[in-house]
Amino acid sequence: MPTLIRLIVVLLVLAGIAFGAMVALVATVTPRDKEVTVRIPARELVPSPEREPLVRREIITNRPEPAPATPAPTPAEEPAEDGVVTRSQGIE
């Protein structure tokens, strides 16, 4: 048991030292601004017929419109003698 406690204490001390080093770096180091320029060749910006096109699929604009859905006709039911109409039997 004492070796387990000693191991935990050593690991906590090492973690504390690492945390202290990170806090010291944050407090003392200031980042410098630096301008970065990346040159892109013009041949990569303009698509050529030999290379793959930028857009692989075409948009189909002459597709027919789907027919509007019509609801199924409901059968006309006559009310019973007490004026109650049963639409679906077995459902309460």
Instruction: Write out pLDDT tens, residues 30-58.
Output: 988 999 998 888 777 776 666 565 555 66
Q: Annotate the chain with three-state secondary structure.
A: CHHHHHHHHHHHHHHHHHHHHHHHHHHHCCCCCCCCCCCCCHHHHCCCCCCCCCCCCCCCCCCCCCCCCCCCCCCCCCCCCCCCCCCCCCCC
What pLDDT, on the 0 to 100 scale, is given for residue 14? 98
Instruction: Write out pLDDT tens, residues 53-78.
Output: 555 566 667 777 777 777 666 656 56
pTM: 0.36
